Amino acid sequence: MADFQPATETAPLLRVEHLRVSYQSFESAAVPALRDIDLTIAPGEMVGLVGESGAGKTTLARSIMGLVPRPGRIDSGRIEFRGQVMAELPDEERRAILGRHLAMVIPNPRSELNPVLTVGQQISNVVRAHSKLGAAEARQTALRMLEAVRIPDPGRRLNAYPHELSGGMAQRVVIAVALACEPSFVISDDATSGLDVTVQAQVLELLQDMVRSRGASALFITRDIAITAHFCDRIAIIYAGEIVEIADTAAFFDRPAHPYSIMLLAAFSHSGDLRRRWTRTEIAVNGSAAGCAFAPRCVRRQPRCEAEHPALRTTHSGHAVRCHFPVEG
């Protein structure tokens, strides 16, 4: 079994360095999905990862879990969890980590839950796979988890099948499965995108409370930048497989620096003028492969943006941005 180093305030729980992931395409060049991703998450920290569909959010989550689906592959880079390089672990040790120390909550509970097993059986199976508990003790743990995720009448729902649950209850069950073994790191991959607004808020607050109460860390992946304001300590913005901005939550919303970040925020604004000023109505096709990936859509684009790829650099107080001409003030 993996001999994890104890988490400390100075050592990150998760460290991703120079991660590159691509998907092979038939008779053509590989399509890059992640390009030189660097990210660290400290013990007890909750980091929000925000970006539009196709930006690479789920690919990053699956890379951390070691579950990149074919034809995807990790081309280079390093992922460390509690001091262990995940790619260097034997398959048996890596599988033992997943679910026990590393867990993921996905957005579609219907595809995650087994339709022929009861809710209680599914939670119990996870508990027994990662502990020495017997069937009766594992079932009691399953009942406690249903109570913890605030499922109405948990004793009865323990014997329910997934098709008998509402969308909100099914998502709560998925959270119960993910947190049953009290993992130290949880990935929420757009976990509430299919729920209505009221249920979404309830589930997010529940997930936050359960992660915080266990002293765990979390990566909150979402397309809704407003969610991160309420639930995250830091925010990372991802575009075209690259992190383009990362900062503490308060600093990010006080002084967003990347034009893409401001465009995302402008989308939530009631001001039509603000949305127009940060959105190009005419977008250049493709753009220079050597330059900034966001340049074709950027209202601040200059010749340098087309010719030179920007590095992720720190501007002030740990606020980092990948832009030649970040917004200041």
Compute φ and ψ for 119, nearest 5 degrees. -60, -45
Are 169 and 316 members of one domain? no
For the ranges 14-23, 203-212, 241-250, 319-328, which has the lowest average pLDDT? 203-212
* 148, 240: one domain: no
Domain range for residue 80?
A: 14-101+183-322
pLDDT tens digits for range 162-210:
999 988 889 889 989 998 998 999 999 988 776 777 777 887 888 888 8
Same domain membership, residue 314 and residue 236: yes
pLDDT band at 10 (very low <50, low <70, confident <90, very high): low
Residue 234 lies in a domain: yes
Quick one: average pLDDT of 231-253? Answer: 95
Q: Is residue 6 part of a domain?
A: no
Question: What is the average pLDDT score of the chain?
Answer: 87
306 and 248 together in one domain: yes
Q: 221 or 214, which is more confident? A: 221
Q: Are residues 308 and 232 in the same domain?
A: yes
d(CA 197, CA 201): 6
* Domain-ending residue, one of 182, 216, 239: 182
Half-sphere exposure of 90 (CA within 13 A, CB side): 5
We report the CATH number of the domain holding residue 277 as 3.40.50.300
| 76-120 confidence digits (pLDDT tens) | 999 999 999 998 888 888 888 988 899 998 878 888 899 999 999
Regarding predicted confidence, which is higher, 276 or 220? 220
Total of domains in the chain? 2
Instruction: Say whether pLDDT at 284 is over 60.
Output: no
Query: Is the pLDDT confidence value at 17 over 50?
Result: yes
Q: What share of the chain is helix, strand, coil (3-state, %, to 5)?
A: 35, 25, 40
- Of 142, 163, 182, the position where a domain reaches its end is 182
Tell me how far apart the alpha carbons of residues 179 and 127 are, in angstroms, rounded to a whole number.
10
Q: Which of 182, 202, 234 is the last residue of a domain?
A: 182
Q: Are residues 212 and 283 in the same domain?
A: yes
- Residues 200 and 297 occupy one common structural domain: yes
* More confident of the two residues 262 and 28: 262
Q: Is 328 among the domain residues?
A: no
Tell me whether residue 7 is in a domain.
no
pTM above 0.75, yes or no: yes
Q: Residues 140, 113: one domain?
A: yes
**Helices (DSSP H) in the chain: which residue ranges?**
57-65, 91-97, 109-112, 119-129, 135-148, 154-157, 167-179, 197-213, 225-231, 249-254, 259-266, 272-277, 303-307
Distance (Å, whole) CA 243 – CA 51: 9
pLDDT of residue 258: 95
pLDDT: which is higher, 4 or 75 = 75
